[in-house]
Amino acid sequence: MRKEDCYFLGKITRRHGLQGNVFLKLDTDQPEMYTKLESIFVDINGLLVPFFVAKQSWSKGETLIISFKNSTEALVNQAVGKDVYLPLSTLPKLTGNQFYYHDVIGFEIREEDGKSCGIIESINDQTGQHYFVLNLAGTQIVIPIIKDWILEVNREEKFLKMALPEGLMDVFLVPSKKDE
């Protein structure tokens, strides 16, 4: 399994008890989707290694307590502190204006009038306000991800149509040589 074919699920934070259980801290806003994990992929030295789940239960919030099939102390020690992934194929298909962040990388963002705002290069979800990072003719542009601004997600033509506040794009215009 390659990382490109997976999405980040969370991190194994520490051991739980003496029976070979671990805490898996989920990085998701829908933890209820992960009530019946059969297996996970643990990033060990850059390789995704499959670990098969024998049983799981909820701890607090978005944390699972997991025990692995054929668990050994060495296996548990190897997993602690490591990132956990699942295959992209396990995600449910989204419709309408819903999207997964990884799905819209490379999409164009257009204003209501069809004017291009640039191509999504990445998405920053490490801040309180998530935002698109775009490239428009070599200029980097940042647009906040606000549900009410997203009018259309066109998966076939790979663009998002957004109702952006007036003047938002003007902030990023680079003056031409004639204007100086």
Same domain, 133 and 81: no
User: What is residue 61's predicted lDDT score, i.e. its pLDDT?
Assistant: 75
User: What is residue 171's predicted lDDT score, i.e. its pLDDT?
Assistant: 66
Same domain, 122 and 82: no
Same domain, 84 and 107: no
Q: Is 110 among the domain residues?
A: yes
User: What is residue 28's predicted lDDT score, i.e. its pLDDT?
Assistant: 82
User: Is residue 57 a contact partner of residue 51, using CB atoms and an 8 Å limit?
Assistant: no
Q: Is 116 among the domain residues?
A: yes
Q: pTM of the full predicted structure?
A: 0.71
User: What is residue 82's predicted lDDT score, i.e. its pLDDT?
Assistant: 96
Same domain, 109 and 69: no
User: What is residue 135's predicted lDDT score, i.e. its pLDDT?
Assistant: 86
Q: Is 179 among the domain residues?
A: no
Distance CA 85, CA 3 (A): 8
Residue type, 8: F
Which CATH number fits the domain that encloses residue 61? 2.40.30.60
Same domain, 78 and 139: no
Size of the chain, expressed as the number of residues it contains: 180
φ/ψ (deg, to 5) at 102: -65, -25
Same domain, 86 and 13: yes
Q: How many domains does the chain have?
A: 2
- pLDDT < 50 regions, the chain: 174-180
User: What is residue 179's predicted lDDT score, i.e. its pLDDT?
Assistant: 43
User: What is residue 178's predicted lDDT score, i.e. its pLDDT?
Assistant: 43
CB atoms within 10 A of CB 21: 21
**Could you read off the pLDDT of 101-111 as tens digits, one per residue?**
888 999 999 99
Q: Which domain holds residue 64?
A: 3-90
Distance CA 123, CA 126 (A): 9
Q: Is 69 among the domain residues?
A: yes
